Amino acid sequence: MDRWHQLCKGSPLSQRYARNETLNPAELARLEEVAAEWRERLMDISWFMRMLNESIARQANREDGCTGRFWEGRFKSQALLDERSLAACMAYVDLNPIRAKMADTPETSDHTSIQRRISAARDGKQPQQLFPFVGNPRESMPVGLPFQLQDYLELVDWSGRCLREDKRGAIDEQLPPILDRMQINPRHWW
């Protein structure tokens, strides 16, 4: 209930409980039911997005003097069921700063995993905060990303050079390929 009260006002019953007021057995039983529902909501991505959307929409509407939803539709969630989907999703996220014209190359894209991976690879490491590349193991569930850094860098570089009408930015075609630019020793390509 404390966590729920950090996000929402709660109910009169939960507020009474939070103030350490005495509740009768029927009230306690009802509060247990409500608390179980709140626990479920606190672990639910849909509820998280709903709460996030509501607070952003209220602030934006207040600033713009209007009403309505902040985003036109609900967020979408899609399972990444294979390596191709995983690589495509990672590349999409790592290319966001380039597509938004906030950076020119993956290595200058602040706050992205690819920038961290490139920086660590230059030192012959993998970043500790990120799931490691493990190459192409013959395991059904490897502990790490089932491809090599070299392949991922080439995928991002190639994808980032594709011009798209619906995006503002792309990697300059005149730049050398990322592996040439980065001069990362091949023994560090996991």
pLDDT at 69 over 80: no
- Quickly list H helices, 19-148: 25-42, 45-64, 83-99, 113-122
Q: Residues 31-57, buried b or exposed e (16+ Cβ, 10 A)?
A: beebeeebeebeeeeeeeeeeeeeeee
Distance CA(126)–CA(132), nearest Å, equals 6
Q: Retrieve residue 156's tokens.
A: 């991002």
| pLDDT confidence tier of residue 157, bands split at 50, 70 and 90 | very high
Check residue 20 and give its pLDDT.
94
* Confidence (pLDDT) at 166: 81
Give the tokens for residue 137: 């193991």
Give the pLDDT band (50/70/90) at residue 187: low
What pLDDT digit, counting tens, does each position of 117-151 carry?
Answer: 998 888 888 888 888 888 776 767 677 888 888 88
CA distance 35 to 42: 10
Compute the distance between CA of residue 91 and CA of residue 52 in angstroms, rounded to an integer. Answer: 25
pLDDT band at 51 (very low <50, low <70, confident <90, very high): confident
pTM for this predicted structure: 0.61
Q: Does the pLDDT of residue 23 top 90, yes or no?
A: yes
Averaged pLDDT for residues 88-101: 94
Average pLDDT across the chain, whole number: 86
Is the pLDDT assigned to residue 75 strictly greater than 60? no
Phi, psi of 153 (to 5 degrees): -60, -40
Residue among 126, 105, 109, 106 at smallest CA distance from 117? 126
Structure-token match 């594709």, residue found: 162
Q: What is the mean pLDDT of residues 13-19?
A: 94
Q: What mean pLDDT do residues 174-185 have?
A: 86
More confident residue, 160 or 50: 160
Task: State mean pLDDT over 175-184.
Answer: 87
